[in-house]
């Protein structure tokens, strides 16, 4: 272990505070018995009660859930295929198409899909949003699955094939079980990305469809209200849960590299 | 024969596995992007959107009017430069904050590294709008921060300044939202450094300052460039943060794009803005990567 000067520790602690203080304030004020997010008055659950009586918010939550489930399901299937393909074959076009949506500014994808859907007379709504979410989630699933494939012994598949398994059987009974943690982690990640997405949804949802982030956006555009704190707190809890589960299943989500030999 | 059949099967498997994601991304990513590039050369429609591809005489209506407009009207250049400056400042401040944090995590015992890293990533996974909203509260006129700042300013006889709806608010939030992108690649790089190099330098009489600038920093440049790319690209295209936290002067290129598509409905010009944004972001990052390769080679020489 190398030296950790007190100054370094102090700066790092300050940065952690910078990361967490704002979110902590959102959570604390969601229980505050005051319309103003200014000072602590007293404990209340009123904002949560108001939240669960807010039909617009509930409809938005329902939309987000439906889009998230559909998008993560399809993106997981396609992303897993892409991840396997990227690991096994030397391809030119696929890597470009898988990683480009991650590398370019989000807004570009949002507006190009808007033009695309409108020119095709495709009604903007739940379906167009789900299609857009699938497109940007595939890459994230593919990355996680490819990492898992890299840690897998391909000789096992060869052995299964030599014992007479068809390619499908070898995939179903050897490859898939081995990469399953990566697949599930990818699915959870895709679900989280979909639930959280604002920019691409903003352009592809059209006027009539509202998701949770869009609802939050229109609320905070007008005024700050503790109801937003309440929905934010619940959303953070959900994301936290999903990410903790995902990172348990696929530690590579957290480590930016394999354990270095010591 | 058997080998032939197996090769045939392998080729089929290859298509079965890579075909569906390829097809999906061709239709829903590549095609829309190409259509947008084409749209940037078309004329705006009378009621928004695009004018017909062929005009009354049946000739193809393709032109570079929208590009000319972007490059000749100074107001757009101003917005673009402002966006570049904001993204650059964000990248530099993120670097200054992320470096000590990444260094500390890399120097921590192995067991605690994962948890320290998780603590950096977690806020990033909370909703983007929630993180903006948090700053609306923190910088709001009733919040303790604004009252404290204005209290201090009051002693000096300076009038109260609003913290919210200002360039300051936009920059703080830009840094806040993008910070984890800088910490991760920096950490991945710093973690690989061989402590023996620093010990050797110390034995040879190098001060802490010299050890950092002559060894640690040059070796970490690939991580610095990777983090800079991850922060700079999204920061350049952002529109929600200036929308919610900025003042009237804080229009960035992302806001212009949003305006063109949702308010003015001038698609060709909106497409031009999106293309300029993407091309310049990727070009700058490509440049940084190229510089980074040179730096890496240099660093390897130092390390060798």
Pick the residue with more confidence: B146 or B286?
B286
Rounded to the nearest integer, the mean pLDDT of chain B is 84
- The tens digit of pLDDT for each residue in A2-43 reads 556 788 888 888 888 888 988 888 888 888 887 777 777 788
Report the distance separating Cα B276 and Cα B83, nearest Å.
12
Look at A243 and B84; give whichever has higher pLDDT.
B84
Q: Which residue has the higher pLDDT, A259 or A72?
A: A72
| pLDDT exceeds 70 at position A258 | no
The pLDDT > 90 percentage for chain B reads: 21
Which chain A residue shows the shortest CA-CA distance from B24? A135
List the domain boundaries for chain B: 73-303
- Residues with Cβ within 8 Å of A68's Cβ and at least 6 positions away in sequence, in order, are A133, A191, A194, A195
Pair of tokens at residue A164:
């007479």
Whether residue B4 is predicted with pLDDT greater than 90 in this model: the reply is no
Question: Facing residues of B46 across strands?
Answer: B48
Mark yes or no for CB contact B32/A116 under 8 Å: yes
Cα nearest neighbour of B131 on chain A: A23
Instruction: Please say if the pLDDT value at position A259 is more than 50.
Output: no
Residue A109 contacts B where some CB pair is shorter than 8 Å = yes
Q: What is the pLDDT of residue B159?
A: 67
A97, B97: Cβ pair inside 8 Å?
no
**A99 touching chain B per CB within 8 A:** no
Q: With an 8 Å Cβ cutoff, are B240 and A38 in contact?
A: no
**pLDDT classification of A1: cutoffs 50, 70, 90:** very low
CA dist A93 → A75, A96, A203 (Å):
18, 5, 27
Asked if the Cβ–Cβ distance from B28 to A131 is below 8 Å, we say: yes
Cβ contact, residue pair A85, B18, below 8 Å: yes
Q: Say whether A23 and B131 touch across the interface (CB within 8 A).
A: yes
Q: Name the residue among A135, A127, A177, A187 with its Cα closest to residue A157.
A: A177
Contact call for residues A231 and A213 (beta carbons, < 8 A): no
List % helix, strand, coil for chain B (3-state, nearest 5): 75, 5, 20
The token pair that represents A166 in the structure block: 């068809």
Does the beta-carbon distance from A104 to B258 stay under 8 Å? Answer: no
Q: Who wins on pLDDT, A114 or B221?
A: A114
User: Who has greater pLDDT, B194 or A107?
Assistant: A107
pLDDT band, very low/low/confident/very high, at B246 (cuts 50, 70, 90): confident
H helix runs in A46-125, sequence order: 46-52, 55-88, 93-103, 106-119
At B165, is the pLDDT very low, low, confident or very high (cuts 50, 70, 90)?
Answer: confident
pLDDT of residue A252: 61
Predicted pLDDT at A260: 34
pLDDT score, position A3: 57
A101/B36 Cβ within 8 A: no
Instruction: Look at residue A132 in the predicted model and tell me its pLDDT.
Output: 95
Q: Are A255 and A59 in contact (CB under 8 A)?
A: no
B36, B111, B133: best mutation site toward chain A, by most A Cβ within 10 Å?
A: B133
State the Cα–Cα distance between residues A194 and A250, nearest whole angstrom.
19
Instruction: Dump the DSSP string for A1-41.
Output: -----HHHHHHHHHHHHHHHHHHHHHHHHTTBSSSSSSS--
Least confident of A30-34, A253-257, B113-117, B263-267: A253-257
pLDDT band at B277 (very low <50, low <70, confident <90, very high): very high
Rounded (10°) CA dihedral B283, B288, B293, B296: -170
3-state secondary structure (DSSP) of residue A210: coil
- Least trusted range by pLDDT, from B50-59, B163-172, B269-278, B295-304: B295-304
The interface predicted TM-score of the complex, written ipTM, equals 0.87
Give the pLDDT score at B140: 80
User: Would the CB atoms of B244 and A220 count as touching at under 8 Å?
Assistant: yes
Q: Average pLDDT in the B64-78 region? A: 87
CATH of domain B73-303: 1.10.3720.10
pLDDT band at B139 (very low <50, low <70, confident <90, very high): confident
Q: What is the mean pLDDT of residues B23-42?
A: 93
- How many Cα atoms within 13 Å fall on the side-chain side of residue B259? 11
Per-residue model confidence as pLDDT tens digits over A108-167? 999 999 999 999 988 888 999 999 999 999 999 998 888 888 888 888 888 888 888 888
Q: Where are the domains of chain A?
A: 54-253
Closest chain A residue to B107, measured at CA: A2
Q: Given the structure tokens 């190229």, which residue do they identify? A: B290
> End-to-end CA distance of chain B, in Å?
53
Axis crossing angle, helix B267-303 with helix B253-262, rounded to the nearest 10: 150
Instruction: Sort out which chain A residues have CB atoms less than 8 A from B258's CB and list them.
Output: 107, 202
Identify the pLDDT of residue B93: 95
CA nearest to A73, candidates A148, A133, A146 = A133
pLDDT class for A262, splitting at 50, 70, 90? very low
* Helix, strand, or coil (residue B49): strand
Residues 111-150 of A with CB under 8 A from B: 111-116, 118-119, 131-132, 134-135, 138, 142
pLDDT of residue A223: 77
pLDDT at B297: 61
What pLDDT does A181 receive?
84
Is the domain spanning A54-253 CATH 2.60.40.1220? The answer is no
Phi, psi (5° rounding) for residue A35? -70, -30
Average pLDDT over residues A90-94: 87
Query: Is the pLDDT score of A256 beyond 50?
Result: no
**Shortest Cα–Cα distance, B1 to chain A (Å):** 16
Is A112 in Cβ contact with B101 (below 8 Å)? no
Smallest CA–CA distance from A207 into chain B, residue: B262
Report the distance separating Cα B10 and Cα B14, nearest Å: 6
* pLDDT > 80? residue B69: yes
Spatial separation of the C-alpha atoms in residues A86 and A89, rounded to whole Å: 6
In contact, B221 and B301? CB cutoff 8 Å: no
CA distances, B279 to each of B226, B282, B284, B288 (Å): 18, 5, 8, 14
Q: What is the mean pLDDT of residues B242-248?
A: 87
Residue A153 DSSP class: -
Return the pLDDT at B28: 94
pLDDT tens, A181-227? 889 888 988 998 898 899 999 999 988 889 999 999 998 888 778 88
């Amino acid at each position: 272990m190398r030296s950790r000067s007190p100054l370094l520790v102090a700066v790092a602690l300050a940065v952690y505070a910078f990361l967490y203080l704002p979110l902590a304030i959102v959570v604390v004020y969601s229980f505050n018995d005051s319309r103003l997010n200014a000072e602590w008055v007293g404990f209340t659950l009123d904002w949560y009660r108001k939240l669960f009586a807010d039909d617009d918010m509930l409809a938005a939550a329902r939309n987000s859930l439906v889009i998230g489930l559909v998008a993560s399901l399809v993106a997981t299937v396609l992303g897993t295929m892409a991840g396997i393909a990227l690991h096994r074959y030397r391809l030119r076009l696929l890597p470009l198409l898988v990683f480009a949506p991650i590398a370019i500014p989000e807004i570009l994808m949002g507006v190009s899909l808007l033009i695309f859907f409108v020119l095709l007379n495709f009604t903007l709504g739940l379906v167009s949003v789900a299609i857009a979410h699938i497109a940007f989630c595939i890459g994230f699933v593919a990355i996680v699955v490819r990492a898992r494939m890299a840690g897998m012994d391909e000789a096992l598949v060869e052995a299964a094939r030599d014992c007479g398994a068809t390619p499908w059987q070898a995939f179903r009974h050897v490859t898939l079980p081995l990469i399953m943690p990566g697949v599930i982690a990818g699915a959870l990640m895709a679900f989280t990305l979909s639930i959280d997405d604002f920019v691409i949804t903003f352009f592809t949802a059209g006027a009539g469809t509202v998701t949770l982030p869009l609802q939050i956006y229109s609320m905070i555009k007008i005024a700050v209200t503790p109801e937003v704190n309440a929905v934010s707190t619940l959303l953070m809890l959900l994301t936290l849960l999903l990410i903790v589960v995902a990172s348990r299943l696929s530690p590579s989500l957290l480590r930016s590299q394999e354990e270095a030999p010591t | 024969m058997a080998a032939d059949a197996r090769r045939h099967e392998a080729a089929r498997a290859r298509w079965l596995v890579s075909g569906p994601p390829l097809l999906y991304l061709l239709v829903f990513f590549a095609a829309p992007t190409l259509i947008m590039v084409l749209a940037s050369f078309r004329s705006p429609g009378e009621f928004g959107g695009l004018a017909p591809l062929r005009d009354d005489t049946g000739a193809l209506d393709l032109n570079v009017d929208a590009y000319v407009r972007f490059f000749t009207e100074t107001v757009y250049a101003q917005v673009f430069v402002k966006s570049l400056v904001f993204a650059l400042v964000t990248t530099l401040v993120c670097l200054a904050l992320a470096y000590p944090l990444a260094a500390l995590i890399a120097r921590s015992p192995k067991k605690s590294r994962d948890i320290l890293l998780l603590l950096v990533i977690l806020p990033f996974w909370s909703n983007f709008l929630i993180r903006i909203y948090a700053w609306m509260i923190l910088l709001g006129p009733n919040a303790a921060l604004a009252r404290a700042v204005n209290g201090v300013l009051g002693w000096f006889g300076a009038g109260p300044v609003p913290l919210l709806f200002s360039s300051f608010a936009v920059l703080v939030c830009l840094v806040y939202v993008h910070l984890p992108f800088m910490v991760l690649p920096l950490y991945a790089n710093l973690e690989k450094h061989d402590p023996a190099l620093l010990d050797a330098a110390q034995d040879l009489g190098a001060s802490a300052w010299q050890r950092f600038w002559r060894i640690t920093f040059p070796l970490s440049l690939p991580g610095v460039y990777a983090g800079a790319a991850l922060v700079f690209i999204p920061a350049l295209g952002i529109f929600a943060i200036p929308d919610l936290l900025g003042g009237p002067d804080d229009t960035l290129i992302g806001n212009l794009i949003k305006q063109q598509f949702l308010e003015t409905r001038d698609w060709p010009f909106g497409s031009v803005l999106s293309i300029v944004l993407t091309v310049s972001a990727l070009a700058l990052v490509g440049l940084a990567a190229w510089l980074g390769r040179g730096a890496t080679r240099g660093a390897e020489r130092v390390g060798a």
